[in-house]
A and B are shown apart, each in its own frame.
Chain A
Amino acid sequence: MTIEKIIFLVIAAVTLGAAVMVVTARKLIHSALWLILALFGVAVVYGLLDAGFLAVAQVVIYIGAIAILFIFAVMLTRRVMNDTDSQNNQYWWVAAPLSVLLFGGLTWMLSSWQGFSTELPKLTPEAKSGMLKQLGQVLVSPDGYVLPFELASILLVAALIGAIWVAWDRK
């Protein structure tokens, strides 16, 4: 039981607990806040996986923008929701076993894959330090992922415009 394992287990437990609370909290604002915690946990996991850039990006984008957006949305639509009623709809009793089943199935399927229990490959410190630069280069080099990168930015612009247009109050 190495220290990494312990850290991992703790973080995993926190994240999963937070996720459970996200989907079961009675008040919506609490769900949003539990989401923030879950996202934090996920960021730590990224860190464990030597994806430093992603960990920071997660915090900045997800927690800094998306989660805040959720809180805005909750606040804007607060009048209607009566937070004391159950948040579960009529199908929850089907959804729960289904999810469990799916989890079991996925796990089982993955376990029969021979690469299931590979060990962590070692990375030299030079490689680790050059990862950020390499990522940057990959993202913008023509024989890298510049096209998907640009497309993703176009997508974001489109989404932006779309969101403005859809939510515009036309009164």
Chain B
Amino acid sequence: MIPLSWYLIFSAALFCIGLYGVLARRNAIAILLGIEVMLNATIINLVAFWRYRNPEPMHGQAFAVMVFAVAAAEVAVGLALIISIYRRRNTVVADDIDIMKW
């Protein structure tokens, strides 16, 4: 059988890849893509733990469903923001959106 460790390592790896994407990409949408990857990694982690630790009650899955909803909401709002910024500033490069500074 697959030990829990495999899933955990897998989700950790996915998380770190997503992190790299968030930190290293120029385009704001690409950053959002990275965030999505990270979110998915966490949901995998959740579900793995649910299955391996306490599979009878469905609490783990319920939690995962909540995370799904949140992720969806976040993507919607994020993309709306990017569209709005794109309309005003005519740019989607994250580095150019730096008004909130000194």
Binding site for B on A (CB under 8 A): 2, 4-5, 8, 12, 15-16, 19-20, 22-23, 28, 31-32, 35, 38-39, 42, 45-46, 48-51, 53-54, 57-58, 61-62, 65-66, 69-70, 72-74, 76-77, 80-81, 86-92, 94-96, 98-100, 102-103, 106-107, 110-111, 115-121, 123, 127, 131, 134-135, 138-139, 144-145, 148-149, 152-153, 155-156, 158-160, 162-164, 166-167, 169
Contact = CB atoms under 8 A, between A and B. Distances in A.
B33 A31 contact: yes
Interface residues of B, number: 75
Interface of A is mostly: helix
A163 B13 CA distance: 31
A12 B65 contact: no
Interface of B is mostly: helix
Interface of B: 1-10, 12-21, 23-27, 29-30, 32-34, 36-37, 40, 43-44, 47-48, 50-53, 55-59, 61-62, 64-66, 68-77, 79-84, 86-87, 90-95
A123 B55 contact: yes
B55 A23 contact: no
